């Protein structure tokens, strides 16, 4: 399996356009790398021949594909080597990029039925992806049941993970098991778990750490009150559906108690998260526990 991290940040990227936090200042000045919103490309076997699967479609998805030669190589007069997209939830940083792919050829999107409805219903912009019968095909991921992603040699399975309804769907949808999932991707040899949004401990997290060889896990916030330190009245991490890394009940402490064989890599990292600063004690805490921090361009080959 080939895994390429195209983007490693939470919504807004790093630097975020309107943010003056330390992480954004450092990224603007070139003292730390810039990061795009979380998106991961996965391929099995001969990637050029069999195509790539994208995990997530953030707003910059089209430019991510265009700037990655293996993904953008045209097939005929139009098309690229991205054959399918899988969505973990209906947040904008998972779905907005679908609209930027409207010029492409036929595309298949894998998601739960709830996520598909949240994007398609009452969304006039979604009509740009329905100009021909085969322009966009939604393939439902029933919880726990694997699906084969086209002819890519890859299977996808969705596991329900505690999460929140996207802000734009508040009052329209209510939180259900299909609202937020971890995507379990396998090629027969390697199992990858993509869980960019995890609200807290659950049986699915235990299963991920038991089954997966590689886990791309929610690294959004280090502390529960991280945002309120920068902006009074801002919501807490848990209120936003993200399990903070630090503290005795944080996800890092959970990793330390598990004897998992999985390679754990943090992704979907918010611009305010101090683990982005190399000399910070929070980053030292992460690294000392054997947990990695994803970066744009990280490539894992198994």
Q: Where are the domains positioned within the chain?
A: 2-301
Tell me if 53 sits within 8 A of 42, measured CB to CB. Answer: yes
Q: Which CATH superfamily is domain 2-301 in?
A: Ribonuclease Z/Hydroxyacylglutathione hydrolase-like (3.60.15.10)
Q: In this structure, what are the phi and psi dihedrals at residue 182, rounded to the nearest 5 degrees?
A: -95, 140
Q: How many helices (H) and strands (E) does the chain have?
A: 11, 14
Question: Which pairing describes strands 292-293 and 2-7: parallel, antiparallel, or unpaired?
Answer: unpaired
What digits encode the pLDDT tens for the residues 130-167? Answer: 888 888 899 999 999 999 986 768 999 999 999 999 99
Give me the tens of pLDDT residue by residue for the chain, a chain 302 residues long.
999 999 999 999 999 999 999 999 999 999 999 999 999 999 986 655 678 999 999 999 999 999 999 898 766 667 788 989 999 999 999 999 999 998 767 789 999 999 999 999 989 999 899 888 888 899 999 999 999 986 768 999 999 999 999 999 999 999 999 999 999 999 999 999 999 999 999 999 999 999 999 999 999 999 999 998 877 778 999 999 999 999 999 999 999 888 678 999 999 999 999 999 999 999 999 999 999 999 999 999 99
Q: Distance between CA atoms of 246 and 225, rounded to whole angstroms?
A: 11
What digits encode the pLDDT tens for the residues 271-286? Answer: 999 999 999 999 999 9
């Amino acid at each position: 399996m080939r895994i390429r991290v195209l983007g490693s940040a939470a919504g807004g990227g790093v630097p975020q356009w309107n943010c003056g936090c330390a992480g954004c200042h450092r990224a603007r000045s070139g003292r730390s790398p810039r990061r795009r919103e979380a998106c991961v490309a996965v391929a099995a076997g001969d990637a050029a021949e069999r195509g790539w699967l994208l995990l997530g479609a953030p707003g910059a998805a089209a430019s991510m594909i265009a700037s990655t030669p293996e993904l953008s190589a045209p097939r005929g007069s139009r098309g690229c080597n991205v054959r399918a997209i899988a969505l973990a939830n209906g947040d904008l940083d998972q779905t907005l990029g679908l609209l930027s792919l409207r010029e492409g050829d036929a595309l298949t999107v894998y998601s739960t039925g709830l996520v598909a409805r949240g994007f398609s219903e009452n969304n006039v912009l979604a009509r740009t992806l329905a100009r021909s019968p085969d322009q966009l095909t939604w393939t439902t991921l029933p919880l726990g049941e694997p699906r084969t992603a086209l002819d890519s040699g890859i299977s996808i399975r969705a596991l329900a993970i505690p999460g929140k309804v996207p802000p734009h769907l508040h009052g329209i949808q209510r939180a259900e098991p299909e609202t937020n999932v971890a995507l379990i991707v396998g090629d027969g040899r390697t199992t990858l778990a993509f869980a960019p949004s995890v609200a807290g401990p659950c049986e699915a997290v235990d299963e991920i750490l038991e089954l997966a060889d590689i886990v791309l896990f929610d690294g959004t916030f280090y502390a529960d009150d991280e945002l309120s330190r920068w902006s009074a009245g801002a919501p807490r991490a848990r209120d936003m559906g993200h399990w903070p890394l630090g503290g005795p009940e944080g996800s890092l402490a959970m990793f330390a108690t598990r004897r998992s064989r999985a390679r754990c890599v943090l992704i979907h990292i918010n611009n305010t998260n101090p683990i982005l600063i190399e000399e910070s004690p929070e980053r030292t805490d992460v690294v000392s526990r054997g947990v990695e921090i994803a970066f744009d361009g990280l490539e894992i080959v198994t």
